[in-house]
Structure 1
Amino acid sequence: MSEASVINQLETPNTRTSLRRDLVSLGLKKGMVVIVHSSLSSLGWVCGGPVAVVQALMDTVGEEGTIVMPTQTGDLSDPSEWQRPPVPEEWWSTIREEMPAYDPQITPSRGMGKTVETFRTFPEVKRSLHPMYSFAAWGKHAGYILSEQSLEEGFGLSSPLAKIYELDGYVLLLGVQHDSNTSLHLAEHAIVNRKKVQKGSALFENNERVWKTYEEILYDADPFEALGKEFEESYSINCSKVGLATSKFMRQRLLVDFGREWLKTENKK
């Protein structure tokens, strides 16, 4: 869709001020801890683009609040896993030897969207050290949320997701659905005897680049849309427009608790 077509969808432009107004109407308040998943294009034309979106979020929760976004880097994985697209097997050893190590300051996220990439580079935004499943955070609890993240349990019980749960934070789906809802990966850790797979990433250890292999549970987002649909049928969530984007706002703890039981039940079928 051309930019002119996007502009024609609106009577007035989306701005930092109008987006903040929409976020407040959705339920965001000062002091909240919120993990944000977003689609910039779903908002319609925004004056200032992703910068205005990030500023509106920060304006809404304030410095006494905390914003978190996933800044994942799936391309820093073992090349044997790559499917979109795959690379020749004879390349694998070279990639493992030559791939730049994950650096929270300079490594870009992959497939997370323009808003995430913009947020990642904002002043005072910090980023966790996991080479594949990093998170960026800003605000009062950013340091605590990012303080620990096990290599073997990137979305597990010591992860930023778990700390949002401890802080009774919220999930904001800004024009996206539950298949983008990273918090549900935390719920996957409740599945007994979950299959594990071997992973590999380039990272820094004692200031030296190394290729590190480790085991982690097999994460699977395929059921998340069905899980989220049943969650919304069971619990009332806030749903309204932010710009042109149908957006959803919910307590993360309630969602994760529901997801744990739902996934355990599904796993037994």
Structure 2
Amino acid sequence: MDAPSSDLAALLARADGPVTRGRLVRDLAALGLAEGDTVMFHTRMSALGYVAGGPQTVIGALVEVVGERGTLMVTCGWNDALPYGFTDWPQPWQDAVREEHPPYEPLLSEAEHDNGRLPEALRRWPGAVRSRHPDVSLAAVGAAATALMSDHPWDDPHGPGSPLARLVALDGRVLMLGAPLETLTLLHHAEALADAPGKRFVEYEQPVLERGRRVWRRFRDIDSSEGAFDYSSVTPVGQDPFETIVRDMLAAGIGRRGKVGAAESHLFEAREVLDFGLTWIREKLGGGAP
């Protein structure tokens, strides 16, 4: 057998050997994840070390820890969604995509590649349920999957009635497996609810299926790409606003920290994340209670 590549050797060294399913189960339990939990997770695979079996191993370990009463949830998006600005393309281009661009289909449309390998793997997992919103789709597996994903609002998809809102209502949790702090998607729910000045919105179109027919639908949402608010005056230069909020949250004693594989990981209560995010936005940017 060939010697490990330098990248693989580095992964093995950082994690003190391969990261197996059994090791992940033990590490997740030590962090505080428990049977029956409803948990939204974000993962950076490379931070975990060399995971023997890849995404299948990670999801298998998570399923084992939360058990049959538990639920796993990820943010997916749609990798092949049209850009918001396609309406500025030359008219023949617009006509072509309006005529033939395939609609978003929860069972077929790939998760956004920038979200890593785990969302695509989970949405393909046996029994997975994916929400109907093309731009803000999420997927879940487990006891509460249908309850979390059903009737995802077309407009304000990060707000009331969204899977994020339902995660909070179910006393869910958020697990960061070596993922950058700025990827804590639940903070978009805080932005959607926050009553602060200068909130920014986007409107866009995507093709979807309705009753088996391809139709074009217009959507309205907070600007989760460029930022729902201008945070430039209240965050360090070069730091993502969500990272700033999460670091402040950790400094306030909210959340658990621990190692999963080689990755520094965090486990939060979803309601605490929402409450802290709302308070932080209100105190830093102004406005009243939601």
Alignment deviations for residues 187-225 of structure 1 (CA, whole Å, 9 cap, x no partner) = 012233633221111101231112211222222274211
1:66 is aligned to 71
Question: What fraction of aligned residue pairs are identical, expressed as a percent?
Answer: 34
| Map 1:107-118 → 2, pairs under 5 A | 107-110=109-112, 111-118=114-121
Alignment deviations for residues 87-125 of structure 1 (CA, whole Å, 9 cap, x no partner) = 955534433332210111110111211122111111111
Matched, 1:210 2:215: yes
Matched, 1:168 2:186: no
The Cα of 1:79 is off from its aligned counterpart by 4.5
2:273 is aligned to 255
Tell me whether 206-215 or 165-174 shows the greater mean CA deviation: 206-215
Tell me whether 226-235 or 73-82 shows the greater mean CA deviation: 73-82
Counting matched residue pairs gives 265
Does the residue aligned with 2:193 lie in a helix, a strand or coil?
A: coil
Does the residue aligned with 2:115 lie in a helix, a strand or coil?
A: coil
Q: Which of 87, 104, 127 matches 2:106? A: 104
TM-score, with structure 1 as normaliser: 0.91
Residue type matched to 1:54 in 2?
I
- For the aligned residue pairs, the C-alpha RMSD in angstroms reads 2.1
Does the residue aligned with 2:40 lie in a helix, a strand or coil?
A: strand
Q: Which of 124, 128, 132 matches 2:127? A: 124
How far apart, CA to CA, are the structure 2 residues paired with 1:195 and 1:238? 32
Q: Which of 93, 96, 107 matches 1:94? A: 96
2:252 is aligned to 234
2:262 is aligned to 244
How far apart, CA to CA, are the structure 2 residues paired with 1:114 and 1:10? 20
Runs of 4+ in 1 over 6 A off after TM superposition: none
TM-score, with structure 2 as normaliser: 0.85
Q: Per the alignment, do residues 189 and 71 of structure 1 end up closer, same or farther by CA in structure 2, a change over 3 Å counting?
A: same
Does the residue aligned with 1:76 lie in a helix, a strand or coil?
A: coil
- Runs of 5+ in structure 2 lacking a partner? 1-5, 229-239
Does the residue aligned with 1:227 lie in a helix, a strand or coil?
A: helix
How far apart, CA to CA, are the structure 2 residues paired with 1:40 and 1:235? 26
Residue type matched to 1:167 in 2?
L
Kept in 1: contact 2:19–2:51 (CA 8 A): yes
Matched, 1:268 2:286: yes
